[in-house]
Amino acid sequence: MITTYLFYLLSFLAIMFGSMVVLSKNPVHSVLYLVLTFFTIAGHYVLLNAQFLAAVHVIVYAGAIMVLFLFVIMLLNLNKETEPHKSIWLKASAAVASGSLLVVLVGSLKGASTIQSINAFNPNIGLIENLGTTLFRDFLLPFEVSSILLLAAMVGAVMLGKKSIK
Amino acid sequence: MTLSFLIYKVILVLIIFAITLLVATYSTYAERKIAAFLQDRIGPDRAGPFGILQPLADAVKMFMKEEMIPSVSNRMLFIIGPGVCMLTACMTGVVIPWGPSMNIGGTEYPLQITDLNIGILYLFGVISLGVYGIMIGGWASNNKFSLLGAIRASSQMISYEVAMGLSIIALVMTTGTLSLGQIAADQPGAHWNVFIQPLGFLIFIICAFAETNRAPFDLPECETELVGGYHTEYSSMKLGFFLFAEYINMFISSAVISTFYFGGYNMPFIARFVHDPNWLAVLGFVFLFTKISFFIFVFMWVRWTLPRFRYDQLMNLGWKVLIPLSILNLVVTGGWMMRMEIYHFFIK
């Protein structure tokens, strides 16, 4: 019973903070609201009994990536005066495009049926022991291949960061 | 979950909160006394015998000072900054095992608020959030020196978190658990992790100095270059919160180092003399605090002995020395754990 209330509370907060990210004028406020949104999503993970995912979500997104975002935005010192002026036509077309996306999403969700899972759901899969066993036994190859992807991204970043390429 | 259990937990939380604040308060006194000792001075000795009421006098001074909020600052974030700093500092004490379980009238009373099975990750997450208070406060002050201090703090923390995480991974490989209660319980007598992970301990304690912004890594508040760093514009108890959060972080870091590497509440030969679990719990609490006090002393000793790093030296140490060393530590630890398999693979 209490988890249902928590779910609604967290969902409400997630949507509220998410819209505040878009609506707030100050970019630093936007980033801080995004951090709060990540916290509510981490709360959802805890409700799904995926504590490992919740902790890693907070560490990686709120603790590292958003700090870098904030870092860059603080250095650029963006504020209302530096924001480029957008024409009324641009705003109108953006509203029409996102509105039609909303219509499409609502329409497709309305007709969709609930997905029936084939395997019985194991509620303990999110615990760290089970997750580790699954990742390193059943999905070893995809897991290792994804690390190559990260390595490629890292090498690319180093290449871009170099001042002169000989 | 019975009502008595809930009440017990609430009482434990309050006690640990009070102890954290008390230790942080008296760390300021200890810092002054140790600084005086290392510089051949007397130190504070006016308020009470040996000056032991000095922290109270400081607190009263902090509360009574005039509150200044710069008119060009972002008012809301300016107030939130020190609050976030204090909140994240107080959140970490939850997962630390302060002693073995007590047994009163057949009921187990663990001296740990909650033994999360992802305790280390929780700790790491809260530590990585600690930088927000400094960043928000520094940016909201709308002062170039504050902003530079905040940016230094954030890049320093991100750099040293990597090495810290890698040294913790090596520790987790040897202990095989992420729960702090389990890690403390797995080090009975003198089987401390520091003997298994000496290099990991060294990396961890250096990173702990950097994460708490203590000298020689206190560049975010480097007074010779940045006036006061991220808290240049702060006054009164808001400044007090920033300074106080640093002492709480130091206390919690010492507790974490003791738990991870120095056996937590364990002490060699004690099981031979004391058999009653309740006395063991009380003694374990005392031993843990002895270790914590020693590490707080080390923090202060280093502060008043070593000069501050230059910023490029700090980054070189973090990225070019500590991270390769911690990766080496990780590989050696893994190789040692798999030594039988490697032996069979190559010899047979």
Q: Chain A: residue nearest B158 by CA?
A: A64
CA B36 to CA A139: how far, in whole Å?
59
pLDDT at A103: 93
CB B230 within 8 A of CB B149: yes
Enumerate the residues of chain B whose CB falls inside 8 A of the CB of residue A55: 118, 121-122, 124-125
Q: φ and ψ at A118, to 5 degrees? A: -80, -50
CB B119 within 8 A of CB B181: yes
pLDDT at A83: 63
Q: φ and ψ at B103, to 5 degrees? A: -130, 100
pLDDT band per the 50, 70, 90 thresholds, residue B61: confident
Q: Is residue A4 part of a domain?
A: yes
The residue among A82, A110, A136 that closes a domain is: A82
How many Å is the maximal CA-CA distance in chain A?
64
One-letter amino acid for residue A148 of the chain: I
CB contact under 8 A, B139 and A74: yes
Q: What is the pLDDT of residues B182-208, one digit of tens each?
A: 888 888 777 888 888 888 889 999 988
The residue among A82, A111, A137 that closes a domain is: A82
Among A46, A50, A37, A48, CA closest to A11: A37
Among B101, B92, B90, CA closest to B257: B92
Most confident region among B146-150, B261-265, B327-331 by mean pLDDT: B327-331
Q: In the predicted model, what is the mean pLDDT of chain B?
A: 84
Q: Is residue A116 part of a domain?
A: no
Q: Which residues of chain A have pLDDT under 70?
A: 77-84, 115-117, 119-121, 164-166
A48's CB contacts (< 8 A; 6+ apart) are: A126
Please count the other Cβ atoms lying within 10 Å of the Cβ belonging to residue B309: 20
CB B309 within 8 A of CB B216: yes
pLDDT at A81: 60
Q: Say how many domains are in chain A.
A: 2
The residue among A50, A82, A114 that closes a domain is: A82
A78's CB contacts (< 8 A; 6+ apart) are: A27
Do A15 and A72 lie in one domain? The reply is: yes
Task: Using the CB atoms, write b or e for B77-98: b if 16+ within 10 Å.
Answer: bbebbbebbbbbbbbbbbbbbb
Q: Is residue A104 part of a domain?
A: no
Higher-confidence position of B222 and B45: B45
In chain B, where the domains are located: 21-63, 65-347
Does the beta carbon of A58 lie under 8 angstroms from any beta carbon of chain B? yes
Do A67 and A5 lie in one domain? The reply is: yes
The alpha-helical segments, DSSP class H, found in chain B are 3-38, 54-64, 75-91, 119-129, 131-140, 144-175, 180-185, 193-196, 198-211, 223-226, 236-261, 270-273, 277-303, 311-316, 323-337, 339-347
* Share above pLDDT 90 across residues of chain B, in percent, rounded to a whole number: 2
pLDDT at B73 over 80: no
Of A28, A59, A68, the CB nearest to B121: A59
Do A1 and A77 lie in one domain? The reply is: yes
Q: Is residue A107 part of a domain?
A: no
Q: φ and ψ at B161, to 5 degrees? A: -65, -35
Chain A to chain B Cβ contacts (< 8 Å): 62
- For residue A140, give its domain range: 128-166
Q: Is residue A92 part of a domain?
A: no
CA B130 to CA A153: how far, in whole Å?
28
Q: Chain A: residue nearest B130 by CA?
A: A63
Q: Is residue A165 part of a domain?
A: yes
For chain A positions 94-113, those within 8 Å of chain B (CB to CB) are: none
CB contact under 8 A, B139 and A127: no
Q: What is the pLDDT of residues B76-129, one digit of tens each?
A: 888 888 888 888 888 888 888 887 777 777 777 777 777 778 888 888 888 888
CA B142 to CA A12: how far, in whole Å?
33
CA B128 to CA A65: how far, in whole Å?
11
Among B155, B130, B140, B142, CA closest to B242: B130
* Interface probe, candidates B126, B128, B147, B159, chain A, greatest A C-beta count within 10 A: B128
Token pair of B316, please? 């070189």
Q: Is residue A70 part of a domain?
A: yes
Q: Is residue A97 part of a domain?
A: no
